[in-house]
Amino acid sequence: MIIVIKIGSSSLTKAGKLFTPAIEKLCHEIAQAKKAGHAPVLVSSGATALGRTIFASAQVRMAEPAMSRAFGSAGQVALISAYERHLARHDSVAAQVLLAPTDFWIRKRYLRSRGTLHRLLELGAVPIINENDALADNDISFGDNDRLAALVAHLLKAEKLLLLTDTDGIYSSDPSVNPEASLIAKVEGIDHTLEQMATGSRSGVGRGGMSSKVAAAKIASWSGVETVIAKAARKNVVADAIAGKADIGTTVAPELRSISARKLWIAFAQQPSGRVVVDVGARKAVERRNSSLLAAGVVGASGSFAIDSIVDIADSDGTVFARGVTRWSQQQIDDHLGKKTSEIPDEISDEIIHKDDLALLPQ
């Protein structure tokens, strides 16, 4: 079984330093999974948090994007060194893999990434994955490592995704506010109600939170991958996730149908830059006939987006039913609203969103 395991900064660090018992426990459980014949892949946060501590004495502008990338670059060395030491005690080899968003939606890079990871697993190594923070583009990024882990699970066709956090799973409401909140053990489908239950990160250490884990679980679900959200400190959490124990945390079942890697990226991995509103006929053409979106069916747009931006597609009632990469800017849509293809200038694409760049969203 290929199992992708993600662990967050707050579960790995204390006061900006690696929490040794946590990394020892994780490496031990990963080694045990390997001995049992499974293929664990680790997506690990913590690099930026460690980097901040490394440069704590320097006079730096903490909010500057380039500074955050510098922290991640230095912290990644410390993080991988720790994994290498602790995995070596279990006769396991750590292999660093730094990924960028283009590794998922450019086909050639997608296949290369998958091939490299499979070879590492064949060699018995433990791939340890992070975003390439040193060169990350703020406009094109994974956003957080929960989403990255879900995309890796899709890439490898993993059987399970294990999201390790500081809580037991998804609760019916915030347990820190409501003592009556109950743990949701099984989720058959992620809907808007469940998404609203999730809250952002309260640790102040990582970029994620329960909301990002729910978003990642949705990505994994539509990849045909089961997701388990569980507490990192739980004893034998990796083995229990592999065994499918009912009381481990929150388990999110996979959907029966899945979508391609590129459309998965479009649908779930980035926040949209704007919205295109279409009429009834255009919605039917997109949903029922797998058609591209043309100007004739568009009734409005908002968001001041540029060409190649990801945008929501909504009907006149405001229901968002699809998402896509637009070949027109928001200004071009305004200038040519409702026109037939024959009326569009030659220098502009016939399609506002081509069908290959369009992903339907679960309703």
Same fold, 2-263 and 271-360: no
CA angle 76, 82, 84 (to 5 degrees): 100
Q: Whole-angstrom Cα distance, residue 44 to residue 18?
A: 12
Q: Summarize pLDDT for 254-301 with one digit per residue, the tens.
A: 987 767 777 887 887 677 899 999 999 999 999 999 999 999 999 999
DSSP 3-state assignment of 259? Answer: coil
Whole-model pTM? Answer: 0.81
Q: Is the dihedral of CA 280, 281, 282, 287 positive or negative?
A: positive
User: Under a CB-based contact definition with an 8 Å cutoff, are residues 289 and 208 in contact?
Assistant: no
Query: Is 2-263 a CATH 3.40.1160.10 domain?
Result: yes
Q: What is the pLDDT along the chain (363 residues), one digit of tens a residue?
A: 999 999 999 999 988 889 999 999 999 999 999 999 999 999 999 898 888 888 877 655 555 777 878 888 899 999 999 999 999 999 999 999 999 888 887 788 889 999 999 999 999 999 999 988 666 655 445 668 998 999 999 999 999 999 999 989 988 877 778 888 889 999 987 766 777 666 544 544 444 578 889 888 988 998 889 999 999 999 999 999 999 998 899 999 998 776 777 788 788 767 789 999 999 999 999 999 999 999 999 999 999 899 999 999 999 999 999 999 999 999 999 999 888 889 999 899 999 999 999 998 866
For the 271-360 domain, the top CATH level (class) is mainly beta
User: Under a CB-based contact definition with an 8 Å cutoff, are residues 328 and 307 in contact?
Assistant: yes
Q: Which residue has the tokens 């069916």?
A: 297
Q: Whole-angstrom Cα distance, residue 218 to residue 224?
A: 10
Q: Supply the pLDDT for residue 141.
A: 53
Sequence-distant (6+) residues with CB within 8 A of 149 are 4, 5, 6, 43, 129, 161, 163, 216
Domain ranges of the chain: 2-263, 271-360
User: Under a CB-based contact definition with an 8 Å cutoff, are residues 234 and 248 in contact?
Assistant: yes
Q: Supply the pLDDT for residue 200.
A: 47
Question: Chain-centre distance of CA 358, in angstroms?
Answer: 19
Q: Whole-angstrom Cα distance, residue 250 to residue 230?
A: 7
Q: Which residue has the tokens 């729910």?
A: 214
Helix (H) or strand (E) holding 256: none
Q: Supply the pLDDT for residue 198.
A: 65
Q: Supply the pLDDT for residue 144.
A: 83
Distances (CA, A) of 358 to 147, 203, 263, 264, 293: 19, 36, 7, 10, 9
